[in-house]
């Protein structure tokens, strides 16, 4: 529970930080001296929720009673569904079938590449540790 709370706080602060950076970039690079308060609030809360979501959901991988494929499936499903609902509600993704399908294709592809990259990295680290153990 302590780990969940720590990650929650870190995610909320990180999401707020990203929202602030985005707003500063919009004002500075977008040459907008005035922003819509309601839109700012909606996007900031969405960014804070995303920060929380993306820092808390990796806790699935710490549940030792689940196999790796179960952890991965739970993580991906949770992230994809909650992010899709949030993005549709806020307007980050238009509520049209083609945009939802495009989101799902991009999400599965990105997740697959990231997962495979982490898999290869940890496999390499495991091999290095095993080699070091054999030398002892």
Residue 32 in this model has a pLDDT that exceeds 80: no
Q: 103 falls in which pLDDT band (50, 70, 90)?
A: very high
Q: Of 53, 61, 45, which is closest to residue 80 (Cα–Cα)?
A: 53
Span 40-86, pLDDT tens digits: 899 999 999 999 999 999 999 899 999 989 999 999 999 999 999 99
Report which secondary-structure segment, H or E, holds 97: helix 97-135
pLDDT average, residue stretch 121-128: 94
Q: What is the pLDDT of residue 91?
A: 92
End-to-end CA distance of the chain: 38
Q: How far from 120 is each of 13, 123, 126, CA to CA, in Å?
A: 31, 5, 10
Residue 104 in this model has a pLDDT that exceeds 90: yes
Distance of alpha carbon 52 from alpha carbon 90, whole angstroms: 16
pTM greater than 0.75 (yes/no): yes
Distance of alpha carbon 68 from alpha carbon 46, whole angstroms: 29
Q: What is the pLDDT of residue 1?
A: 83
What burial letters (b/e) apply to 93-112, b meaning 16+ CB within 10 Å? beeeeeeeeebeeeeeeeee
Residue 121 in this model has a pLDDT that exceeds 80: yes
């Amino acid at each position: 529970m302590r780990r969940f709370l720590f990650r929650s706080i870190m995610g909320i602060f990180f999401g707020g930080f990203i929202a602030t950076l985005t707003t500063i970039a919009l004002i500075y690079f977008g040459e907008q001296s005035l922003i819509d308060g309601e839109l700012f609030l909606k996007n900031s809360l969405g960014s804070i929720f995303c920060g929380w979501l993306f820092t808390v959901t990796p806790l699935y991988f710490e549940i030792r009673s689940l196999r790796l494929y179960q952890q991965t499936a739970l993580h991906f499903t949770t992230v994809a569904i909650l992010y899709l609902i949030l993005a549709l509600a806020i307007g980050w993704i238009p509520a049209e079938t083609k945009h939802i399908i495009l989101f799902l294709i991009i999400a599965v592809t990105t997740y697959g590449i990231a997962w495979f990259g982490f898999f290869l990295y940890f496999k390499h680290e495991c091999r290095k540790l095993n080699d070091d153990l054999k030398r002892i």
